[in-house]
C-alpha cells in the first residue's frame, strides 16, 4: 500500500505577516498543495497573510464558506450546511492525501482556537499522518497592539463568544478578572449592554484588525455601538489591585 500524504494544519498568526512563526513560513514555502478558507467575495485572510511565500507552482485549494454572518447560529440550517461544507472540504483534501501529496491547511491565528481548520482536522486525523503548527492568537495580537497587559498575578481570564445570550455574558463577566470577547460582529450592541450591566464598560477596549492594516484600538464607549467586522474583539484587562 502506498504511503499517504501528511496533513499540515498551520497557524499564521493575527494578521501581521511578520508575526508568522519561522516554522509556519518554512512549511508553506515548501508546500506543493495549500488549502485555505475564504469568503466568496474576498481573497481570504489566511491567504493574504501567507502572501508571496507560497511556491509559484503550488496547487491551491480555495474553500469558500457557504455563508459567514448571513445566517444566525440558531437557524437549524446553519449546522446542516456547515457540516456539509466541512465534509466536502475534507474530501477534497483527502483526495490529495490519498495520492501521497502533503497538504498544508492555512488558518489565521491559532488553528485550534476558534479556527475553522480544526473541523477538517477532526475529520481527517484518524486516517492520515498529521502535524499542527501553533500561531499567535488574535487576542494576543490585539492586547499587545493596544499596549494592554491583560492578566497579572492570579487574575482569571475568560474568553467568551459574543454569540452567547446577554444574560449568559453578564453571568460569566461577573465571575472573571479579565475577559476577551470574540465573535463580535452584529453582537456588538448586546455585548456592550452586557458589559454595562456587569459594570465593566469603562474598562473595555474595542480592538479591530489588531496588528493588521487599518487597525483600530479605542475605548468601547467611544465606538458607535453598531456592527463590527470579522477581525474584532473586546478586551477587558485585569489587575484592579496595585502590585
Find out whether 179 and 160 touch, Cβ atoms under 8 Å: yes
pLDDT at residue 1 in the model: 43
pLDDT along the chain (243 residues), means of 10: 86 95 96 94 91 96 82 75 96 98 96 95 97 96 96 94 96 96 93 97 95 93 82 91 64
pLDDT at residue 41 in the model: 82
pLDDT at residue 84 in the model: 96
C-alpha cell belonging to residue 214 = 487599518
pLDDT at residue 70 in the model: 57
pLDDT at residue 60 in the model: 97
Distance CA 110, CA 113 (A): 5
pLDDT at residue 207 in the model: 96
Look at residue 179 and give its three-state secondary structure: strand
pLDDT at residue 2 in the model: 57
Question: HSE of 110 in the Cβ direction (CA atoms, 13 Å)?
Answer: 11
Cα distances (Å, whole numbers) of residue 24 to 41, 87, 108, 134, 158: 26, 25, 11, 8, 28
Q: Which domains does the chain have, with CATH numbers?
A: 7-136 (3.40.1010.10), 139-236 (3.30.950.10)
pLDDT at residue 213 in the model: 86
C-alpha cell belonging to residue 72 = 444566525
DSSP designation for 2? P
pLDDT at residue 235 in the model: 98
pTM above 0.85, yes or no: yes
Distance CA 3, CA 39 (A): 33
* 3-class SS string, 135-172: CCCHHHHHHHHCCCCCCCCCCCEEEEECCCCHHHHHHH
Amino acid at each position: 500500500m502506498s504511503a499517504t500524504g501528511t496533513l499540515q494544519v498551520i497557524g499564521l498568526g493575527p494578521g501581521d505577516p511578520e508575526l508568522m512563526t519561522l516554522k509556519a513560513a518554512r512549511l508553506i514555502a515548501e508546500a506543493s498543495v495549500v488549502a485555505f478558507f475564504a469568503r466568496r467575495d474576498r481573497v481570504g485572510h489566511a491567504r493574504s497573510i501567507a502572501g508571496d511565500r507560497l511556491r509559484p507552482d503550488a496547487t491551491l485549494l480555495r474553500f469558500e464558506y457557504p455563508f459567514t454572518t448571513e445566517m444566525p447560529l440558531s437557524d437549524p440550517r446553519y449546522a446542516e450546511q456547515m457540516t456539509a461544507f466541512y465534509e466536502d472540504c475534507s474530501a477534497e483534501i483527502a483526495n490529495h492525501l490519498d495520492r501521497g501529496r502533503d497538504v498544508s491547511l492555512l488558518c489565521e491565528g491559532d488553528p485550534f482556537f476558534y479556527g475553522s481548520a480544526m473541523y477538517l482536522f477532526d475529520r481527517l486525523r484518524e486516517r492520515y499522518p498529521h502535524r499542527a503548527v501553533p500561531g499567535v492568537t488574535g487576542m494576543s495580537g490585539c492586547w499587545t497592539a493596544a499596549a494592554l497587559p491583560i492578566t497579572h498575578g492570579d487574575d482569571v481570564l475568560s474568553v467568551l463568544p459574543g454569540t452567547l445570550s446577554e444574560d449568559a455574558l453578564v453571568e460569566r463577566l461577573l465571575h472573571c478578572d479579565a475577559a476577551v470577547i470574540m465573535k463580535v460582529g452584529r453582537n456588538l450592541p448586546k455585548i456592550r449592554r452586557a458589559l454595562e450591566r456587569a459594570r465593566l464598560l469603562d474598562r473595555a477596549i474595542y480592538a479591530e484588525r489588531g496588528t493588521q492594516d487599518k487597525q483600530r484600538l479605542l475605548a468601547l464607549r467611544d465606538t458607535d455601538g453598531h456592527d463590527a467586522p470579522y477581525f474584532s474583539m473586546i478586551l477587558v484587562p485585569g489587575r484592579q489591585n496595585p502590585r
